[in-house]
Amino acid sequence: MKVIRTGAILILLSVVLVVAGGAIGGRGGMQIALVIAVVLNFVSYFFSDKIALASSGAQPVTREQLPRLYQVMEGLAAKASIPVPKLYVVPDAAPNAFATGRSPSHASVAVTQGLLQIMNNDELEGVIAHELSHVRNYDILTSSIAATIAGAITYMAQMGRWAMLFGGYGGNRDDERGGGGLSALLMIFLAPFAALLLQLFLSRTREYAADETGVRMVGHQQGLISALEKLGAYNRRIPTSAISPSTASLCIVKPFFGSGTLSSLFSTHPPLEDRIAALKQMVVTPLR
């Protein structure tokens, strides 16, 4: 059911992109939108992990440098029946972690220096299990595709606003050659909002699922609950110095950027209080 729901959301996002292109630019706009969707999905599939790691300044680490991290990662990867991801450390005092990569065989997990400094072994295990759950469930790939399609929709809407401002689109063309004025106007303002809501729903659903799978991987929820509580407290005080807003949706908790943030209604992450409450009520079953 989760796979079907995720696939349905990605299809809906693609449909919104193509329909928006058609409404704004007619048949030509629809064809352009379809090409954009294909190109962006290709880029997301092959390069989203490299972009996320490079933008955060993540550096690869060896077993000799961080034996504790490797020990936790190797043990959990064996439980999850997936290859051990490549490990990176982000030079950032704000505690956080993220996973990236298009499949378990091409995955990387990055943790910040701040996270390694404040987490005990149980908490670190909970965090890593959450990130490996994203890898195991192919969440990074689906989230990256959703983000790029949503970004393309927003970009097209911005182009449509400028075009309408300067008379590029409107009711002087028929539906075969250009977008109708009213439909174009509606799509310019409604399509980005619809894409944002679909993307946020997908991201929040994936976070709850990763919490659940991670707990089942470890066998108890105490470590992850304690880690989330600690991450929430620290990330309200320490702004990130390395993680960019484009990578923030991949993190286990929403980074603090040192300025006002959007309402939780438009956050890619569910409220920490809700995640912790769900974990406390969870009946742990073995991972299969």
Per-residue model confidence as pLDDT tens for the chain (288 residues): 445 555 565 666 666 666 666 555 556 655 666 676 667 667 766 777 888 899 999 999 999 999 999 999 999 999 999 999 999 999 999 999 999 988 899 999 999 999 999 999 999 999 999 999 999 988 876 766 666 666 666 666 666 665 555 555 444 444 444 444 555 565 666 666 766 676 677 778 889 999 999 999 999 999 999 999 999 999 889 999 999 887 888 899 999 887 654 455 567 789 999 999 999 999 999 887
**Can you give the C-alpha Rg of the chain in angstroms?**
21
Q: What is the pLDDT at residue 20?
A: 61
Claim: this prediction has a pTM higher than 0.85 = no
pLDDT of residue 137: 86
The pLDDT assigned to 170 comes to 46
Catalytic residues: 131
- Distance separating the N- and C-terminal Cα atoms of the chain: 16
Q: What is the DSSP letter of 88?
A: E
Q: Which residues pair with 90 in a beta bridge?
A: 112
Q: For position 67, what pLDDT does the model report?
A: 97
Q: Answer for the pair 215, 224: CB distance below 8 angstroms, yes or no.
A: yes
Alpha helical stretches, state H, the chain: 2-56, 67-80, 113-118, 121-136, 139-165, 181-218, 222-235, 272-281
